[in-house]
Amino acid sequence: MFNDDRLARRAKTLSARMPAPHFPSEFGEETILFDSGFAAPQLLPALGALAQRALTDHREEVLQYASGRGQPYLREWLCDWMNADGCALTPDHILVTNGAKQGIDLICRLLLDEGDAIVVTAPTYFTAIPIFRNYGVEFVEVGQDAHGFDVAALAAALDARAAEGRALPKLIYNIPEFHNPTGATMSAERRVALVALAEARGIPIVEDSPYRRVRFEGADEPLLKALDRSGNVFHLGTFSKLVAPGLRIGWVAAEPALIARMIQLKSEGGSSPLIQRIIYEFARSADFPAHIERVQAAYCERRDGIVAAVERELPGARIAIPAGGYYVWLSLPPHVDGDMLAAKAGEAGIHLIAGSRFFASTGADIPRNHIRLAFSFTTLDQIANGIARLGAVYRSIAGE
Ligand SMILES: Cc1ncc(COP(=O)(O)O)c(C=O)c1O
Output b/e per residue, 250-285; b: 16+ Cβ within 10 A: bbbbbbbebbeebeeebeeebbbbbbbbbbbbbbee
Task: Provide the percentage of residues in the chain whose pLDDT is more than 70.
Answer: 100
Q: What pLDDT, in 10s, does the model give residues 315-334?
A: 999 998 999 999 999 999 99
- Which range is least confidently modeled, 4-13, 150-159, 312-321, 387-396? 4-13
Q: Whose CA is nearest to atom 14 of ligand 1?
A: 37
- Band of pLDDT at residue 9, cut at 50, 70 and 90: confident
Q: In testing the pocket of ligand 1, which one of 96, 125, 235, 275 has its CB within 8 Å of the most ligand atoms?
A: 125
Q: What pLDDT, in 10s, does the model give residues 339-378?
A: 999 999 999 999 999 999 999 998 778 999 999 999 999 9
Compute the distance from residue 362 Cα to the ligand 1 centre, in Å. 22
Mean pLDDT of 272-290: 98
- Band of pLDDT at residue 284, cut at 50, 70 and 90: very high
Please tell me the number of Cα atoms within 13 Å of 105 on its side-chain side: 16
Residue 201 pLDDT exceeds 80: yes
Residue 24 pLDDT exceeds 80: no
The pairing of strands 327-331 and 318-320 is antiparallel
Please tell me the number of Cα atoms within 13 Å of 120 on its side-chain side: 25
pTM score of the predicted model: 0.96
Position 218 scores a pLDDT of: 96
- Band of pLDDT at residue 98, cut at 50, 70 and 90: very high
* Residue 39 backbone zone (phi > 0: left; psi -120 to 50: alpha; other: beta): beta
CB pairs under 8 A, 24+ apart, for 391-394? 391/312, 391/313, 391/314, 392/348, 393/341, 393/344, 393/345, 393/348, 393/350, 394/313, 394/314, 394/316, 394/317, 394/332, 394/336, 394/341
Query: Is 98 a pocket residue for ligand 1 (Cβ < 6 Å)?
Result: no
Task: Provide the percentage of residues in the chain whose pLDDT is more than 90.
Answer: 88
Give me the chain's average pLDDT, please.
95
What is the set of domains in the chain, with CATH numbers?
Answer: 4-44+289-398 (3.90.1150.10), 50-283 (3.40.640.10)
Position 47 scores a pLDDT of: 98
